Amino acid sequence: MSESAEREVAQPGDNERDVAEPGDSAPALLSRTALAVFRLGGQFLAVSERLARPVGLTAARWQVLGAVLGEPLSVAQIARVMGITRQSVQRVADLLVADGLAEYRPNPAHRRAKLLAPTAEGRAAVGAISPGHRGFAGQLCEQLGGEAEFAAVADALRRLSEAVEALEDQHGQIRNR
């Protein structure tokens, strides 16, 4: 790679410019976007830990419980929705069940893949996080300039996720053209 091409691609720790500019190359945009998403993921994890800690949950436990509040799901379904490994979800699900915050139920569609559902205690724990969650959401919305801007950010992140997913095959390999 030429010296000018190396300068064009943002490297980890390269924070000379945090904002993409017209004319940035696709590799530079990908690197800058990935670094921003990694940082944002860490920030969301830290906020989630702070919100969940007072009710005795971790961010991971809150995330898994939150995934099944609407309807019971299998561990594999939760993993797909969350974009993490089935093994990670299984470990957290087993801990939630052991602590009485969730329970396994029979799955009519698959005898071996049980469904995870929150217990009343699990729903109460998530409910106890809601005031802090609402407060932080309101502050973040205000910081972003209002609900329309917040919605635009959420939509852009969803589109980015869908685009990355479209470029991966069923085995997680990146498609090269």
Q: What was the pLDDT predicted at 37?
A: 96
pLDDT of residue 111: 82
Alpha carbons 175 and 166: distance in angstroms, whole number: 9
The per-residue pLDDT for 176 is 57
Q: Smallest Cα–Cα separation from 129: which of 68, 64, 50, 21? A: 50
Task: State the Cα–Cα distance between residues 93 and 158, nearest whole angstrom.
Answer: 26
Measure the CA angle with vertex 105, ends 103 and 108; round to 5°.
Answer: 160
pLDDT at 78: 97
pLDDT digits 0-9 by tens, 60-91: 999 999 999 999 999 999 999 998 999 999 99
Residue 172 binned pLDDT confidence (cut-offs 50, 70, 90): low
Whether the per-residue pLDDT at 12 is higher than 90: the answer is no
CA proximity to 74, closest of 51, 125, 42, 108 = 108
pLDDT (0 to 100) of residue 11: 44
Q: Enter the pTM of the model.
A: 0.78
pLDDT at res. 83: 87
Q: Which of 129, 133, 149 is nearest to 141 (CA)?
A: 149
The C-alpha atoms of residue 116 and residue 76 are separated, in whole angstroms, by 10
